[in-house]
């Protein structure tokens, strides 16, 4: 024990030597706070007063150079490094399951440059995304990345799990928005991806690290594209008889126009969440659409959208409900509106081509509702492409088992059942929340032999396996 204590103190001293003693903590309050993220399991543990998974050292570096030195120390001692940005991920991706170092990036929060000519913005990845958006807004621009976690996640967090914002249908996902990055590799080398993302110089390095969830390195700087604020942003809502009609309309709209927001709610969500938050008391499938840009172009898009919705029997609810949805776009996620413990719940978001979307929706709904009595299934479809859409499907169990182990086993079973139903029908393991601890076990089923590509990357870049163990199935 004494020898172990000596090494614990030795590692602590080395870390303090790198970042300063004010920025290394082993205190109970800090390790408690870093032991609970947005993942249902960690919340359930906290709710039951259980001991959270604790990192041995909370380390808060100030620069890529300090990150580099920390990773060199971690490699020497072969101790795990879990990267924590906002901690607001729902997949347990930041949880310090293996102890060791928890590296909080939030001190790396400097704005590096706003290039108004090239329309780009560069910042360190520990910055809260809303702060980055505020900086862009100060100059009259926007990043147009408005996820529900905009105010609480970091730039690095958005990149690490391939995040998405509500305006993605027009402006793209985070992986479309990122121009270039600085990354600290597990061996401590600091690298830069190419200055632009479109080229013919081999595979895109950005896309190797975006979505890697801290398993292949730590992103420390990123450049994103900026957008001008739209001249007009118009909102509209419709009510379809059922989701089938809504899908038809959505698919057709994507061939003619480029709305920024298009969200179709199934009948169950329409009579529950939409009624609760927006007050729309109607049966059917609620859809809200936002279109924006230059006034003349928006007018043409609006004409097409109205025509298409009319064609599929969509009742035009006017602009009021669409505006109300936009005003309340984050309200849905505040305490009192969002699911919370002691309920058991999860968002099994998937994405697929139009051909498979209804098939997957019904397969998942049937699989969940028929196998797990007392579990509700609700869904909406909120990020659309020319070729398909994503399904934001959620399960909710109001009265889960009180025993934590039993509850976790049931939780995993529900997830396996739902995600497998999606994958078997042409869906993808996850659309925009990432894999983390929650879904790692299903990655090999998703990728099959293609998983060896990720395995080789992991082995090559992180031979000691120190980076975010048990996450992403790596």
Residues in touch with another protein (CB under 8 A)? 27-30, 32-34, 36, 38, 43, 46-49, 58, 60, 84, 86-88, 104-109, 111, 126, 128, 130-131, 134-135, 137-138, 149-152, 328, 330-331, 333-337, 340-341
Residue in 340, 332, 355 with CA at minimum distance from that of residue 400: 340
Q: By C-beta, is 291 or 345 nearer to another protein?
A: 345
Q: By C-beta, is 335 or 449 nearer to another protein?
A: 335
- Nearest approach in angstroms of CB 43 to another protein is 5
Q: By C-beta, is 90 or 206 nearer to another protein?
A: 90
**65 dihedral zone (left: phi>0; alpha: psi -120 to 50; beta):** alpha
Q: By C-beta, is 343 or 416 nearer to another protein?
A: 343
Q: By C-beta, is 133 or 301 nearer to another protein?
A: 133
116: cis peptide before it, omega within 30°?
Answer: no
CB contact at 8 A, 426 and 356: yes
Q: What distances in angstroms separate CA 230 from CA 258, 292, 296, 469, one per listed residue?
A: 13, 6, 12, 43
296 CB burial (10 A radius; 0-12, 13-18, 19+): exposed
- Nearest approach in angstroms of CB 52 to another protein is 8
- Nearest approach in angstroms of CB 161 to another protein is 15
The percent of the chain in helix, strand and coil, each rounded to the nearest 5, is: 40, 20, 40
Q: By C-beta, is 116 or 299 nearer to another protein?
A: 116
- What DSSP line would sit under 180-247, residue for residue? EEEEE-TTS-EEE--SSS--SSSS-HHHHHTT-TTSS-EEEEEEEE-EEPPSEEEEEEEEESSHHHHH
Residue in 277, 391, 275, 414 with CA at minimum distance from that of residue 344: 414
Work out the number of other CB atoms within 10 angstroms of the CB of residue 3. Answer: 7
CB contact at 8 A, 123 and 221: yes
Whole-number Å distance between alpha carbons of 196 and 204: 10
- Nearest approach in angstroms of CB 417 to another protein is 25
Whole-number Å distance between alpha carbons of 219 and 29: 27
- Nearest approach in angstroms of CB 29 to another protein is 4
- Nearest approach in angstroms of CB 282 to another protein is 24
Q: By C-beta, is 150 or 344 nearer to another protein?
A: 150
- Nearest approach in angstroms of CB 122 to another protein is 15
- Nearest approach in angstroms of CB 277 to another protein is 10
Q: By C-beta, is 205 or 339 nearer to another protein?
A: 339
Q: By C-beta, is 50 or 450 nearer to another protein?
A: 50
Residue 339 CA to its chain's centroid (Å): 17
| Residue pointed to by tokens 């009192």 | 336
Structure tokens at 42: 């960690």
Whole-number Å distance between alpha carbons of 52 and 32: 6
Residue in 328, 335, 202, 221 with CA at minimum distance from that of residue 274: 328
Q: By C-beta, is 88 or 464 nearer to another protein?
A: 88
- Nearest approach in angstroms of CB 6 to another protein is 23
- Nearest approach in angstroms of CB 23 to another protein is 9
CB contact at 8 A, 431 and 40: no
């Amino acid at each position: 024990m004494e020898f172990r204590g000596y090494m614990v103190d030795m590692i602590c001293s080395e870390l303090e030597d790198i970042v300063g003693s004010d920025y290394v903590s082993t205190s109970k309050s800090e390790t408690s706070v870093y032991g609970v993220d947005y993942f249902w399991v960690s919340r359930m543990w906290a709710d039951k007063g259980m001991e959270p998974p604790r990192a041995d050292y909370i380390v808060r570096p100030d620069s890529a150079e300090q990150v580099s030195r920390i990773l060199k120390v971690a490699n020497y001692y072969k101790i795990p490094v879990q990267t924590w940005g906002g901690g607001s991920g729902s997949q347990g991706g930041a949880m310090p399951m293996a102890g060791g170092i928890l590296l909080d990036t939030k001190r790396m929060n400097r704005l590096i440059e706003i290039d108004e000519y090239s329309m780009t913005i560069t910042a360190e990845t520990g910055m809260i995304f809303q702060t980055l958006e505020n900086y862009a807004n100060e100059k009259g621009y926007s990043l147009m990345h408005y996820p529900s976690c905009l105010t609480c996640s970091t730039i690095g967090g958005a990149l690490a799990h391939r995040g998405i914002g509500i305006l993605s249908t027009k402006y793209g996902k985070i992986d479309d928005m990122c121009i270039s990055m600085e990354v600290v590799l597990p061996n401590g080398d600091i690298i830069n991806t190419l200055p632009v993302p479109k080229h013919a110089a081999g595979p895109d390095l950005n896309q190797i690290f975006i979505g890697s969830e801290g398993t292949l390195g730590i992103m420390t700087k990123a450049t994103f594209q900026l957008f001008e604020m739209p001249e007009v942003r118009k909102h509209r809502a419709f009510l379809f008889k059922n989701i089938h009609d809504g899908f038809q309309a959505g698919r057709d709209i994507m061939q003619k126009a480029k709305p920024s927001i298009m969200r179709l709610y199934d009948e169950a969500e329409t009579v529950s969440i939409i009624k609760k938050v927006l007050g729309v008391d109607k049966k059917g499938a609620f859809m809200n659409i936002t279109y924006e840009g230059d006034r003349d172009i928006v007018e043409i898009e609006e004409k097409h959208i109205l025509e298409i919705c009319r064609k599929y029997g969509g009742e035009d609810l006017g602009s009021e409900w669409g505006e109300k949805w936009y005003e309340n776009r984050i309200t849905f996620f505040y305490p009192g509106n969002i699911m919370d413990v002691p309920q058991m719940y999860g968002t099994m978001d998937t994405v697929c081509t139009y051909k498979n979307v209804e098939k997957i929706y019904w397969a998942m709904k049937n699989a969940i509702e028929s196998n797990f009595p007392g579990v509700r299934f609700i869904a909406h479809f909120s990020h659309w492409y020319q070729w398909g859409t994503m399904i934001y499907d959620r399960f909710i169990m109001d009265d889960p088992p009180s025993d934590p182990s039993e509850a976790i086993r049931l939780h995993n079973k529900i997830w396996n059942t739902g995600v497998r139903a999606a994958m078997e029908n042409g869906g993808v393991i996850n659309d925009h929340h990432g894999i983390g601890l929650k879904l790692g076990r299903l990655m090999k089923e998703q990728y099959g032999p293609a998983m060896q590509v990720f395995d080789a990357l992991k082995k090559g870049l992180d031979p000691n396996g120190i980076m975010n163990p048990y996450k992403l199935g790596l």
